[in-house]
Structure 1
Amino acid sequence: FNFHLVQLKVQSRKFFHFKYVIFHRENNAMQQEKLNEWLHIT
């Protein structure tokens, strides 16, 4: 009995939305870092 697997099945939409949000947060953080680097160079 894999509880995690059941959770994934039951809350797949929530789970994928969560991953989507995390992905975009990390993406924004990376863009912010690039922006900071660029500002530091100039």
Structure 2
Amino acid sequence: MDFQEILVYILVIVALGFLVRKFFWKSKSKKNCGNGDCGCS
């Protein structure tokens, strides 16, 4: 296994981790919508 293969595997793992965190671990919104400063109406 050479350096390029290791780099590709690391990038794939990071990308999958990002997608899992983004779509499956939805955290509560930290926006403060009580003051009307975030544009959510």
Provide the TM-score with structure 2 as the length reference. 0.55
Q: Is residue 13 of structure 2 the alignment partner of residue 20 of structure 1? A: no
- Greater per-residue helix proportion: 1
Give SS of 1:28's match.
Answer: helix
- State how many pairs are aligned: 28
Unaligned runs of 5+ in 2: 30-41
Provide the TM-score with structure 1 as the length reference. 0.54
Structure whose CA Rg is larger: 2
Coordinate RMSD, CA, aligned: 2.1
Q: Is residue 29 of structure 2 the alignment partner of residue 34 of structure 1? A: no
